[in-house]
Amino acid sequence: MGVVYRAWDPALACVVAIKLLSEDTIPDESARRQLYTEAQIASSLNHSNICKIKDVIEESGQAGIVMEYVEGQVLTQAIPANVGLPFDVVVEYGIQIADAVSHAHQRDVIHRDLKSGNVIVNSEGQIKLLDFGLSKIQRRSEVPSSLQNADTKESSDAIVAESRAFASWLRVLFRHDWVVYAKRPFGGPEHALRYLGAYTHRVAISNSRLVALSESHVTFRWRDSAHGNKKRLMTMPIDEFLRRFLLHLLPRGFVRIRNFGFLANRRRTKLLPLCFRLLQPSDQPATDAASPAALPTHTLRKCPLCGGPMQVVERLSAAQLLLRSPPHLIQCAA
């Protein structure tokens, strides 16, 4: 609906951002009202992680919002492709976004378009939430009483268990116009297959990584990829440990790949190099398979007539023996 420009404010002597209506929506009166509503809602919020509104302007029939200019990147561009952000950075950004949304909710403001494209990260790593064009003021009196009292897990479970209470809770939700934002999960099917493939050959955590177990907590080793793959210790409640472990179980219909023999995990590092060494071609010249020297020289069985050693000329498999027909005894007798 709007286009954002970088501008200079001579009165304030600073750089600002101006959001104007696009050319195709300038004559639309509803778009103008929505722009003013966005300015009113955003100006009622005063938080360090929310972009501040400075003024509303109108010139030659064109309306616009003057807001602070944030030097940085959109969160979508700040996330490295196919790599992601370190865990501590994700937590820090998530806390700042949650603080901004919580501040808006305390003032009955619902953003309704919260996505990475509406979040900017400045050069100091500070989050700025912007674009309240689809936001709405939701008074507490408009929220169902059953939802207002659902402050604990027990009360929310009671709402779901009681059919009438749950139906009344859903009835109010159908009266609102929801903005649906959808994107491809995992970035495509290859990401889901790569994630599942990481657990087809091994378990989520091996016994060697378990360090200590008490009545209520589990301590285990983990690799911190954000700090040079350093090995660290983590302690968490048993329930949380089991919950995370069960998340990495293969879905129904998938079978874990297990190797035996020289490919078994315990003996693979020792036996695989030995197999490769034995399979390497010998430096000696190859002899002709048809020559008598190529035939085995060791004695398998002695001839009952002459006492000399017998040599293997041909080996017949069990299938070849079954394919041979028995001698025709009747014809022989004739």
The domain that holds 106 is classified in CATH as 1.10.510.10
Say what the pLDDT of residue 220 is: 92
Residue 156 belongs to a domain: yes
Residue 47 belongs to a domain: yes
Residues 125, 156: one domain? no
Residues 31, 149: one domain? no
Identify whether the C-beta of residue 4 lies closer than 8 Å to the C-beta of residue 18: yes
pLDDT in tens, the chain (334 residues): 678 888 888 888 888 888 887 766 555 677 778 888 888 888 888 888 998 888 888 877 778 888 889 888 888 888 876 667 788 888 888 899 999 988 888 888 888 888 888 899 988 889 999 888 788 777 655 555 544 554 444 555 555 667 777 777 777 777 777 766 666 666 677 777 777 777 676 677 888 889 999 888 999 998 887 788 888 999 999 988 998 888 777 777 777 777 778 887 777 888 888 888 888 776 555 555 455 555 444 455 777 777 778 777 777 776 666 555 555 544 444 4
Residues 122, 38: one domain? yes
Say what the pLDDT of residue 153 is: 47
Residue 39 belongs to a domain: yes
Domain that holds residue 8: 2-137
Residues 160, 127: one domain? no
Q: Give the C-alpha separation, 225 to 88, whole Å.
A: 11
Residues 133, 148: one domain? no
Residues 13, 122: one domain? yes
The total number of structural domains that make up the chain: 2
> Which positions ≥6 away from 306 have C-beta within 8 Å?
none
Say what the pLDDT of residue 334 is: 41
